[in-house]
Amino acid sequence: DAGITQSPRHKVTETGTPVTLRCHQTENHRYMYWYRQDPGHGLRLIHYSYGVKDTDKGEVSDGYSVSRSKTEDFLLTLESATSSQTSVYFCAISGSGRRDNEQFFGPGTRLTVL
Amino acid sequence: AQSVTQLGSHVSVSEGALVLLRCNYSSSVPPYLFWYVQYPNQGLQLLLKYTSAATLVKGINGFEAEFKKSETSFHLTKPSAHMSDAAEYFCAVSDPGGGADGLTFGKGTHLIIQP
């Protein structure tokens, strides 16, 4: 298994509070991604990174920001959490930007916003 | 824009029967296609991928998929279902900007195995 960990694994928070989710990898992969998974929607890309300090928006980036100060860590921040951000969040990594390269997924973080 | 359609949010088969999970895609460029499996409370694991080398792709756990350009399909099959195959299955297409831009996923199909 690819060395990807996510923390926390579960979190309950209240509307309006800031939340940061962490993705840590030990594979030294250049590309990292944050997805959210919701019933009936599959997985949707929030943000991705193609190197340290290099990030870009995905399909559902509103309300989220990211940072990558080290190769191994990719942080996802909800500046002011809303109930619509209740979801399961997955981090993924890839060693290459090639279209045929697979992505490896972390175990996920279940976030509940009350 | 890319899109993926998985027909059937739930598919139920008997143990030992054929498994067929359907995936149709749309892509503005030649597609690269993936099937992932998700077991309960786990992340996604790659089953197989199509990268234009061969239209019939074999993956792990006895699964295979056939790329049919004329039908824009990439259906997943397994000749004989096992109880351990019960999981959520996702079809995905790689975005034209390159793998760095992420994957576009279908909504998933929940496979139920009846004893």
* Cα Rg of chain A (Å, integer): 13
For residue range B47-101, list pLDDT tens digits in order. 999 987 788 999 999 999 999 989 999 999 999 999 999 999 999 988 765 556 6
Rounded to 5 degrees, what are φ and ψ at A61?
-85, -15
Using an 8 Å CB-CB cutoff, list residues of chain A that contact chain B. Answer: 4, 31, 33, 35, 40-45, 48, 50, 56, 58, 90, 92, 94, 96-108
Residues of A in contact with B49 (CB under 8 A): 100, 102
**What pLDDT, on the 0 to 100 scale, is given for residue B27?**
79
Distance (Å, rounded) from C-alpha A109 to C-alpha A79? Answer: 17
Distances (CA, A) of B104 to A28, A60, B32, B95: 24, 12, 11, 7
Closest by CA position to A83, among listed A111, A46, A47: A111
Provide the 3-class DSSP secondary structure of residue B73. Answer: strand
- CA closest to A33 among chain B residues: B102
The mean-pLDDT minimum among A6-15, A25-34, B22-31, B39-48 falls in B22-31
Rounded to 5 degrees, what are φ and ψ at A52?
-60, 130
- Cβ of B34 and A58 within 8 Å? no
- Cβ of A107 and B32 within 8 Å? no
Residue A72: other Cβ atoms inside 10 A: 18
Please report which confidence band the pLDDT of residue B31 belongs to, taking 50, 70 and 90 as the band edges.
Answer: confident
Q: How far is A79 from chain B (nearest CA, A)?
A: 23
